[in-house]
Amino acid sequence: MNVTQRELDVFIDEVERLGYSVRYAGINGFGNGEATIDRNGAGDPMEWEYDIKDIVYDMELRDYDITSYTQETIVITLF
């Protein structure tokens, strides 16, 4: 199943509500949502990925893959 634009928009809103910034977000040719998220000084640099995972679980998205993770940036694919 594809991620809808509405689901991606809600995900972005939730990420930004926590103080993180979304540098890029879009739906790729396979229908998966993709986002590049910067920590932007918010959250604990060692644990902020859990905030992002909680959003995915709370939204009941089908699956996700964190393709890149540093203390400052996360690249995530939503399925």
The residue with greater pLDDT, 65 or 43, is 65
Please give the mean pLDDT across all residues of the chain. Answer: 94
The arithmetic mean of pLDDT across residues 38-46, rounded, is 90
Residue 46 pLDDT level (bands cut at 50, 70, 90): confident
Three-state DSSP string of the chain: CCCCHHHHHHHHHHHHHCCCEEEEEEECCCCCEEEEEECCCCCCCCCHHHHHHHHHHHHCCCCEEEEEECCCEEEEEEC
Residue 30: predicted pLDDT:
93
Residue 8: predicted pLDDT:
97
The arithmetic mean of pLDDT across residues 10-15, rounded, is 97
